[in-house]
Structure 1
Amino acid sequence: MSSTAPSTSDLPRFGRTARAVHWSVTVLMIVCIVTALFLYVSSLAILVGNRHLIEIVHVYAGFALPVPLILGLASPGYRDDLRRLNRFLPTDWKWLRTKTRRDGTIPVGKFNAGQKLNGALQAGSIVVLFGTGVLMYFPSLVGLSYRSGATFAHDWFALGVGILVLGHIAMAMGDPEARRGMRTGSVPEWWAQTEHGAWADEMTAGDSKPDPESSRG
């Protein structure tokens, strides 16, 4: 289905808040990664006419990174997405172990195990990068040994986040319907039944077939 306009066979996947948070974090993360490349790769650094400006952009983009995530908590739909991401179920372990995880035979909820792991790693990395960034930007807060440790952790976590982001982009490029869901908020029902069967049943049958991830217990 090539059209991006919702139809009777579309299912609402992400609300405005979730999409706004996703794209805000995406832009800030890309800014951080690009500016970090210019600051740390010598062959790129010589192309920068004003290194101090690049440093300022990097710092402020990094400090702003948690803001959309925090503001999004005001939305019940966004909080529900976070609860689903935070619930790792037996079917998720099965999804990770099998090579046929994308054939629709495993009842996957709104998020598959790979998305849950990526979300956890990204969230944890943002916390570490923010904390170490604060120590690097305000050196008087701690001693030299702590600042050195913060710099070491910041650099390696930044590298890890860069790899995660590239992997996330690669996966998204291979799934146009998933991209459509984050762009417009809706996905085709056939795609939902194949990729996220339990969630699709929840959406089409109401409470008769609830997605176990939606449980708050």
Structure 2
Amino acid sequence: MTRPPERELPRFSVAVRWVHGVAGVLVLVLIATAAVLYNSELQVLVGHRPVVEAVHVWSGFALPVPVLAGLAFRSVRADVAELDRFTARDWRWLRSRTRRDGTIPVGKFNAGQKLNGSLSAGGGAVLLLTGAVMLATDLAPLSWRTGATLVHDWTSLAFGLLVFGHLYHALRDPTAMRGIRTGTVPAWWARHEHAAWAAEFDDQPADDHPAEDQRSRR
């Protein structure tokens, strides 16, 4: 007898995936152009510094657009609210050395993803503000622009590390990548990685030991 296929759970809406995709492309463009602007060897190799600088500036100002446009959709607002909600379970997850074994029921986003979202939003706001000050040569005094440049440089470095850390963890989990690509994930993955969220589809609360419960049902 053929075993029925594993049920798929809807994880991300089309609007959420578009916001994530467009913002992600803009961030990668910003990192690539920043690398050229700050590395003399890359500048010689690529050339066209004014063009690279213009692409960097306009990509930076465009970055908030997909996020703000996405807020018109209920699914995007719901995910933003979920990312912004830290609970006692999230702090417990962060302190645990066995956080990925499924013993702590996790909602739609784990605490690491919530931290990444908060730091990305904060870092992006700082970069946008300092970038605007750096460009305001006729409005901002030299001391402001010097300070803004220093903050912009160091925040860019931290932001870049945050992005590469996000990519590293994402690439280690092909199923999670599939979720943001297609919008759905297998129920077995959801039960292990996000038990509290998966339980919402079963109309039953996730217990404190979903991994043990799963083993007992085999």
User: Shared fold by TM > 0.5?
Assistant: yes
Aligned to 1:11, what secondary structure does the other structure show?
A: strand
**Partner of 2:202: helix, strand, or coil?**
helix
1:42 corresponds in structure 2 to 40
Report which of the two structures shows the higher radius of gyration computed on alpha carbons: 2
Residue of structure 2 aligned with 1:60, choices 55, 58, 61:
58
The CA distance in 2 between the partners of 1:144 and 1:185, in whole Å, is 48
Deviation per residue, 1:155-184 (Å, 9 max, x gap): 111101100011011001100010000000
Indicate yes or no: 2:205 matched with 1:209. yes
Normalising to structure 2: TM-score of the pair? Answer: 0.90
- Equivalent residue for 1:82, pick from 76, 80, 83: 80
Alignment correspondent of 2:157: 159
Runs of 4+ in 1 over 4 A off after TM superposition: none
How much does 1:204 deviate? Answer: 2.4
Please list, as runs of the form range in 1=range in 2, the aligned pairs for 1:184-199 lying within 5 A after superposition: 184-199=182-197
- The percent identity for this pair of structures is 54
Offset, 1:142: 1.4
Matching residue's letter, 2:107: G
Q: Distance in 2 between matches of 1:134 and 1:169?
A: 28
RMSD: 1.2
1:31: which partner in 2?
29
1:118: how far off? 0.4
Give the AA of the match of 1:172. A
Shift of 1:195: 0.4
User: 1:99 Cα deviation (Å)?
Assistant: 1.4
Residue 75 of structure 1 and its aligned partner are, at CA, apart by: 0.5
2:105 aligned with 1:116: no
> What is the correspondence of 1:163-174 to structure 2 with a 5 Å cutoff?
163-174=161-172
* C-alpha separation in 2, matches of 1:17 and 1:138: 34
Q: Partner amino acid for 1:125?
A: G
How big is each residue's C-alpha offset from its partner over 1:116-169, in whole Å with a ceiling of 9 and x where there is no partner? 000000000110111111111222221111111111111111101100011011
Aligned amino acid, residue 93 of structure 1: W
Provide the rounded CA distance (Å) in 1 between the counterparts of 2:137 and 2:13: 40
Structure 2 gaps, min length 5: 207-218
Look up the equivalent residue of 2:70 and give its one-letter code: G
Alignment size in residue pairs: 202
Helix, strand or coil at the partner of 2:100? coil
CA contact under 8 A between 2:6 and 2:186: conserved in structure 1? no
The DSSP-based 3-state class of the residue aligned with 1:102 is: helix
Alignment gaps of 5+ in structure 1? 1-6, 211-217
